Amino acid sequence: MSLACQNATVPDSPLARWDARYKLAGLFVLAFGVAVLQRPQTVGCALALVLVLTFLAKISARRVLARVGLLLVAVLPFVVVLPFASDHGLELAALIAGRCVTIGLIGLILAATATLPRTLAAAQSLGVPSVLVLVAQLAWRYVFVLLAEARRLRVALQARAFPVRTNAHTYRTIGHVTGALLVRGGERADRVAAAMRCRGFDGTPRGLTPFRATAFDVFALLLVVGGTIALVAWDRL
């Protein structure tokens, strides 16, 4: 049985054409390498490398800046506090911010250059248990269904002129709505499981398109892994 999930269209780019298995392995190694860097200079070089990859992935500047802004907001407490906490606080704050932004952009590249089902299929082919892949696929597919159900319940409350206040009646009503959402979600899960069993699903997700590696895929993986090793080696000098 094949399980297809809705996902946004991926624009054509060199990284989009990179085999998802090699891309996932290479970007994972790069992210791990960035996480162990201990000098702001090497983190800056890693960030420059990742920015080049975002350009090759043809990710819009607005999307990159939006992701960087969110990441900087997340590390803002460290950036504000650490410079006053120790003698090397400013350097440590820059190191943490650089790591966070770089790894976040690596995640953006992975998400923007392949559909989620394709990436999960690549993870499965690399040895990730099928159960985890299946859970991730179903969660991605049906979280939007649950959000739509929550919006319908919210509209129903608004149609009945429900006043949102800080009193027991409001809390009780919100509890009832949450319970109804959970019950409907459980019933939907039972129906989905029954439908999958009726179609002969054996517990192993299968993709619609087989993987086919080329020399470019291997070369790109070696290039990214080699660059990561060089960065870590330079960081330790």
pLDDT digits (tens, 9 = 90+) for 43-99: 999 999 999 999 999 999 999 999 999 999 999 998 888 888 888 888 899 999 999
The residue with tokens 């086919």 is: 212
The residue with tokens 């919100």 is: 174
The residue with tokens 């906490």 is: 85
Each residue's pLDDT tens digit, 9-28: 788 899 999 999 999 999 99
Q: Please check the confidence at residue 2 and state whether its pLDDT lies above 50.
A: no
Q: Please check the confidence at residue 6 and state whether its pLDDT lies above 60.
A: no
In this prediction the pTM is: 0.80
Q: How confident is the model at residue 8 (pLDDT cuts 50, 70, 90)?
A: low
Each residue's pLDDT tens digit, 83-133: 888 888 888 999 999 999 999 999 999 999 998 889 999 999 999 998 898
Predicted confidence at residue 216, as pLDDT, reads 94
Give long-range contacts, CB 8 A cutoff, 24+ apart: 126-130. 126/21, 126/24, 126/25, 130/203, 130/204, 130/205
Return the minimum-mean-pLDDT range out of 31-45, 92-106, 130-144, 213-227.
130-144
| Crossing angle of helices 130-159 and 168-198, rounded to 10° | 140
